[in-house]
């Protein structure tokens, strides 16, 4: 089954079959885990099927990478040890010391830490602006120096929405690139390359893996030349996905579509509930018609995802108390698994942004809505909110 693309197959078919042909030797319908560090070569300079060493290439990882490219409608997919490893590889592939990047003023805390504590020391400059304000993005550009717009949409944890096509047009106007972190939406709900993005980023730990049992990251691009450059740096820098991690992620992707439908169903019920609750000051969710990015989200997403944030009437103390009282919602960092999670971003995932322009509100609670029976989730929130 070759050349699987969105032009010939539906999303769920690609998720189950792309890069995953039955094993030619045994007929196994699941790709084997090639748990090996090196490969016997047929002669000096003649590696079998091109495999020499598992940092440089591994058949299990190749299966995952082919699947990633297919479900994002890209040409090249690359798998990494973590989402941040993918981000670091991208930055050091397309940027040089002295270059400049425009980032969201509400970026994921780990991304902010990478820019402010690591890339900045390497000589990369950055400016944080609200990416849903195109005039602010244009004003932040430094022609000849700005190499990249770094977008998250929806953003983590404030769930702001960026117009991918608009940002891509602006980036290309200045001979720059647009990178889109698509972790919150997943390829099932949004495909940024179709709107002009140059590269898509994922923490595959989240919705793609989907079961809170593997850590990984990914880059996908529609440009063969950029794909080759990224692949060179993937090998040269070495932060690759191991074969068992790749196998787990590939297994998770098979059910991405059905899981995302349930995540969305449950999130919509919870948003409706929270919107009417006396202890909730504001609900942040792109599916709400009152959300400032709702129209853009409706244009570029098929549905609005399983992530929900809200602010409490009682301020930071109440936000922390709600997190601590939750029972079925597990108090934990991360997101996108089948189980529901709750966290206080200010003291957990976004602590690295404290005291900066990217600091998140202290009264904010973030939910990763799982696929449990939704009435049980609603009951848990009722008791947690008091």
Q: What is the pLDDT of residues 104-118, one digit of tens each?
A: 999 999 999 999 999
Rounded to whole angstroms, how far apart are CA atoms 271 and 277? Answer: 10
Which residue in 181, 245, 363, 380 is the catalytic one?
Answer: 181
Rounded to whole angstroms, how far apart are CA atoms 329 and 99? Answer: 42
pLDDT category of residue 37 using cuts at 50, 70 and 90: very high
Residue 240 gets which letter from DSSP? B
Rounded to whole angstroms, how far apart are CA atoms 176 and 164? Answer: 14
Burial class from Cβ neighbours inside 10 Å (0-12, 13-18, 19+) for residue 343 reads buried
| 363 is a catalytic site residue | no
Residue 3 has what pLDDT?
65
State yes or no: pLDDT of 263 exceeds 60.
Answer: yes
Residue 156 gets which letter from DSSP? T
State yes or no: pLDDT of 1 exceeds 50.
Answer: no
Write the CB contacts of 362 (distance below 8 Å, at least 6 apart in sequence).
315, 316, 319, 346
Alpha helices in 128-255 (DSSP H): 134-140, 164-173, 186-189, 224-237, 243-253
Residue 6 has what pLDDT?
64
Which residue in 108, 188, 207, 285 is the catalytic one?
Answer: 108
**Percentage with pLDDT > 70 across the chain:** 98
**Percentage with pLDDT > 90 across the chain:** 94
Which residue in 76, 206, 251, 259 is the catalytic one?
Answer: 206
* C-alpha pair distances (Å), 73 with each of 97, 299, 319: 31, 18, 40
Give the range among 104-113, 146-155, 237-246 with minimum mean pLDDT.
104-113
Write the CB contacts of 321 (distance below 8 Å, at least 6 apart in sequence).
314, 386
* C-alpha pair distances (Å), 350 with each of 249, 257, 280, 360: 25, 29, 21, 7
Rounded to whole angstroms, how far apart are CA atoms 118 and 88? Answer: 9
| Strand-pair partners of 158 | none
**Long-range CB contacts (within 8 A, 24+) of 5-12:** 5/70, 5/73, 6/70, 6/73, 11/71, 11/187, 11/188, 11/257, 12/257, 12/258
Rounded to whole angstroms, how far apart are CA atoms 295 and 163? Answer: 10
CB atoms near residue 146 (< 10 Å):
22
Averaged over 266-276, what is the pLDDT?
98
CB atoms near residue 27 (< 10 Å):
7
Residue 335 has what pLDDT?
97
Whether pTM exceeds 0.75: yes
Q: DSSP 3-state assignment of 190? A: coil
Rounded to whole angstroms, how far apart are CA atoms 310 and 283? Answer: 4
| 327 is a catalytic site residue | no
Which residue in 55, 254, 269, 325 is the catalytic one?
Answer: 55
Write the CB contacts of 187 (distance below 8 Å, at least 6 apart in sequence).
11, 71, 72, 200, 208, 256
State yes or no: pLDDT of 203 exceeds 50.
Answer: yes
State yes or no: pLDDT of 2 exceeds 70.
Answer: no
Residue 352 has what pLDDT?
83
Averaged over 78-92, what is the pLDDT?
98
The pLDDT mean for the chain works out to 96
Rounded to whole angstroms, how far apart are CA atoms 163 and 192? Answer: 10
Write the CB contacts of 67 (distance below 8 Å, at least 6 apart in sequence).
14, 15, 18, 19, 20, 77, 250, 253
| 181 is a catalytic site residue | yes
Residue 354 has what pLDDT?
85
Rounded to whole angstroms, how far apart are CA atoms 385 and 279? Answer: 7
């Amino acid at each position: 089954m070759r050349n699987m693309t969105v032009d010939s197959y539906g999303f769920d078919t690609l998720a189950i079959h792309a890069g995953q042909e039955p094993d030619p030797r045994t007929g196994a319908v699941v790709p084997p885990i090639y748990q090996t560090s090196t490969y016997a070569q047929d002669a000096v300079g003649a590696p079998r099927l091109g495999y020499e060493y598992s940092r440089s290439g591994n058949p299990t990882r190749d299966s995952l990478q082919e699947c990633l490219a297919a479900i994002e409608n890209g040409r090249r997919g690359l798998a990494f040890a973590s989402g941040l490893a993918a981000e670091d590889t991208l930055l050091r592939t397309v940027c040089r010391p002295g270059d400049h990047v425009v980032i969201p003023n509400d970026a994921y805390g780990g991304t902010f830490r990478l820019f402010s504590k690591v890339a900045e020391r390497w000589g990369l400059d950055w400016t944080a602006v609200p990416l849903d304000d195109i005039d602010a993005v244009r004003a932040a550009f430094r022609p000849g120096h700005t190499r990249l717009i770094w977008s998250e949409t929806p953003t983590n944890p404030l769930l702001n929405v960026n117009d991918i096509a608009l940002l891509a047009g602006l980036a290309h106007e200045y001979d720059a690139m647009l990178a889109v972190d698509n972790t919150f939406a997943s390829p099932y709900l949004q495909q940024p390359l179709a709107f002009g993005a140059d590269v898509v980023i994922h923490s595959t730990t989240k919705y793609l893996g989907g079961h809170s049992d593997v850590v990984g990251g990914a880059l996908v691009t529609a440009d063969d030349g950029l794909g080759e450059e990224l692949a060179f740096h993937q090998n040269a820098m070495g932060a690759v996905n191991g074969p068992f991690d790749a196998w787990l992620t590939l297994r998770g992707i098979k059910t991405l579509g059905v899981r995302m439908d349930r995540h969305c169903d449950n999130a919509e019920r919870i948003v409706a509930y929270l919107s009417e609750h006396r202890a909730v000051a504001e609900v942040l969710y792109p599916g709400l018609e009152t959300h400032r990015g709702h129209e853009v989200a409706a244009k570029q997403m098929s549905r609005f995802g399983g992530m929900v944030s809200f602010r409490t009437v009682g301020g930071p103390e109440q936000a922390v108390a709600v997190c601590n009282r939750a029972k079925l919602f597990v108090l934990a960092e991360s997101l996108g698994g089948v189980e529901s999670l709750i966290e206080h971003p200010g003291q957990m995932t976004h602590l690295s942004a404290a005291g900066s322009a990217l600091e998140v509100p202290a009264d904010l609670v973030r939910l990763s809505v799982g696929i449990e029976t939704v009435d049980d989730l609603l009951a848990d929130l009722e008791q947690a909110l008091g």
